[in-house]
A and B are shown apart, each in its own frame.
Chain A
Amino acid sequence: MWVKPWNMKEGFLIGGGLLVTGLLLQWVLGPVEWGLLAWPVNLILLGLMAVVVGVLYALRRKVYVFEWMMHSGAAVPCLSYAAALTILMGLLPQVKGTDVPWLSQMLRFWPFVLIWTWMMLISALAALNHLLRWKLREIPFLLNHLGVVIAIVAATLGNADIQKLQLTAFTGETEWRAVDDAGMVHEPGLAIELHKFTLEEYDDGTPKRFASDISVYTEDGKNVRGTVEVNKPLKVNGWKIYQYGYDVRYGAESPYSVFQLVRDPWIFWVYLGIFMMIAGALCLMFFMAPKPMKS
Chain B
Amino acid sequence: MSWDSFIWFALGAVLLWAAGAFFAWKEKKALVYLCTLAGIAVFFAFILGMWISLERPPLRTMGETRLWYSFFLPVAGIIVYSRWRYKWILSFSTLLAIVFICVNLFKPEIHSKSLMPALQSPWFAPHVIVYMFSYALLGAATVMAIYMLIRKDKTTEKEVNLNDNMVYVGLTFLTFGMLFGALWAKEAWGDYWTWDPKETWAAATWLCYLAYLHLCKARPNEWRLACVVLLVSFVCLQICWWGINYLPSAQGLSIHTYNVK
Q: Do the two chains bind?
A: yes
Contact assessment for A289 and B236 in the assembled complex, using a CB-CB cutoff below 8 Å: no
User: Within 8 Å of chain B (Cβ to Cβ): is A274?
Assistant: yes
User: Within 8 Å of chain A (Cβ to Cβ): is B2?
Assistant: no
Return chain B residues, CB-CB under 8 Å to A87. 204, 236
Stretch at the interface among B49-57, B90-98, B99-107, B212-220: B212-220
User: Within 8 Å of chain B (Cβ to Cβ): is A71?
Assistant: yes
Provided the pairs A8-B219, A231-B188, A233-B187 are in contact, do residues A86 and B200 lie with their beta carbons within 8 angstroms?
A: yes
A residues contacting the other copy or chain, number (CB 8 A): 55
Return chain A residues, CB-CB under 8 Å to B158. 293, 295
Return chain A residues, CB-CB under 8 Å to B191. 262
Closest residue of chain A to B251, judged by CB?
A93
Provided the pairs A83-B208, A87-B204, A231-B121 are in contact, do residues A277 and B215 lie with their beta carbons within 8 angstroms?
A: no
Contact assessment for B172 and A76 in the assembled complex, using a CB-CB cutoff below 8 Å: no
B168 interface neighbour in A207, A274, A290, Cβ under 8 Å = A290
Least Cβ–Cβ distance between A27 and chain B, in angstroms: 24
Stretch at the interface among B29-37, B63-71, B112-120: B112-120
User: Within 8 Å of chain B (Cβ to Cβ): is A98?
Assistant: no
User: Within 8 Å of chain B (Cβ to Cβ): is A260?
Assistant: yes
Provided the pairs A210-B117, A277-B179, A290-B165 are in contact, do residues A90 and B197 lie with their beta carbons within 8 angstroms?
A: yes
Complex CA–CA separation, A72 to B169 (angstroms): 20
Within 8 A of B (CB), among A250-287: 260, 262, 267, 270, 274, 277-278, 280-282, 284-286
Complex CA–CA separation, A73 to B216 (angstroms): 10
Return chain A residues, CB-CB under 8 Å to B219. 7-8, 73
Return chain B residues, CB-CB under 8 Å to A260. 190
User: Within 8 Å of chain A (Cβ to Cβ): is B249?
Assistant: yes
A-B contacts, 16 listed (Cβ < 8 Å): A72-B217, A75-B210, A76-B211, A79-B207, A83-B204, A89-B195, A91-B249, A229-B117, A230-B120, A231-B184, A231-B187, A233-B190, A270-B192, A292-B85, A292-B161, A295-B158
Least Cβ–Cβ distance between A205 and chain B, in angstroms: 10
Least Cβ–Cβ distance between B172 and chain A, in angstroms: 4
Closest residue of chain A to B189, judged by CB?
A242
Contact assessment for B83 and A286 in the assembled complex, using a CB-CB cutoff below 8 Å: yes
Annotate B220-261 by CB proximity to A: 1 below 8 A, 0 otherwise.
Answer: 000000000000000010010000100111100100000000
Return chain A residues, CB-CB under 8 Å to B210. 75, 79
Complex CA–CA separation, A208 to B190 (angstroms): 20
Closest residue of chain A to B198, judged by CB?
A90
Complex CA–CA separation, A206 to B189 (angstroms): 20
Chain A residues proximal to chain B, CB less than 8 Å: 7-8, 71-73, 75-76, 79-80, 82-83, 86-87, 89-94, 107, 155, 164, 202, 204, 206-210, 229-233, 240, 242, 260, 262, 267, 270, 274, 277-278, 280-282, 284-286, 288-290, 292-293, 295
A155 interface neighbour in B168, B192, B244, Cβ under 8 Å = B192
Top 10 nearest A-B pairs by Cβ distance?
A289-B168, A83-B207, A285-B172, A72-B217, A281-B175, A79-B211, A230-B117, A86-B204, A262-B190, A73-B218
Complex CA–CA separation, A87 to B112 (angstroms): 37
Contact assessment for A75 and B120 in the assembled complex, using a CB-CB cutoff below 8 Å: no
User: Within 8 Å of chain A (Cβ to Cβ): is B183?
Assistant: yes
Greatest chain A CB density within 10 A among B173, B204, B244 is at B204
B118 interface neighbour in A7, A73, A93, A231, Cβ under 8 Å = A231
Contact assessment for A292 and B201 in the assembled complex, using a CB-CB cutoff below 8 Å: no
Contact assessment for B164 and A289 in the assembled complex, using a CB-CB cutoff below 8 Å: yes
Given contacts A7-B219, A72-B214, 13 further A-B contacts (CB under 8 A): A7-B218, A71-B218, A83-B236, A94-B200, A206-B114, A230-B117, A281-B176, A285-B168, A286-B83, A288-B168, A289-B164, A290-B165, A293-B158
Closest residue of chain A to B124, judged by CB?
A231
Return chain B residues, CB-CB under 8 Å to A92. 249
Contact assessment for A86 and B203 in the assembled complex, using a CB-CB cutoff below 8 Å: yes
Provided the pairs A7-B219, A71-B218, A231-B188 are in contact, do residues A93 and B165 lie with their beta carbons within 8 angstroms?
A: no
Contact assessment for A82 and B218 in the assembled complex, using a CB-CB cutoff below 8 Å: no
Complex CA–CA separation, A282 to B173 (angstroms): 9
Return chain A residues, CB-CB under 8 Å to B214. 72, 75-76, 79
Complex CA–CA separation, A89 to B201 (angstroms): 9
Least Cβ–Cβ distance between B235 and chain A, in angstroms: 10
Contact assessment for B187 and A290 in the assembled complex, using a CB-CB cutoff below 8 Å: no
A284 interface neighbour in B121, B171, B184, B239, Cβ under 8 Å = B171
Return chain B residues, CB-CB under 8 Å to A286. 83
Complex CA–CA separation, A280 to B175 (angstroms): 9
Return chain A residues, CB-CB under 8 Å to B250. 90
User: Within 8 Å of chain A (Cβ to Cβ): is B41?
Assistant: no
Closest residue of chain B to A88, judged by CB?
B204
Complex CA–CA separation, A292 to B219 (angstroms): 19
Provided the pairs A79-B207, A274-B179 are in contact, do residues A93 and B248 lie with their beta carbons within 8 angstroms?
A: yes
User: Within 8 Å of chain A (Cβ to Cβ): is B22?
Assistant: no
Return chain B residues, CB-CB under 8 Å to A293. 157-158, 161-162
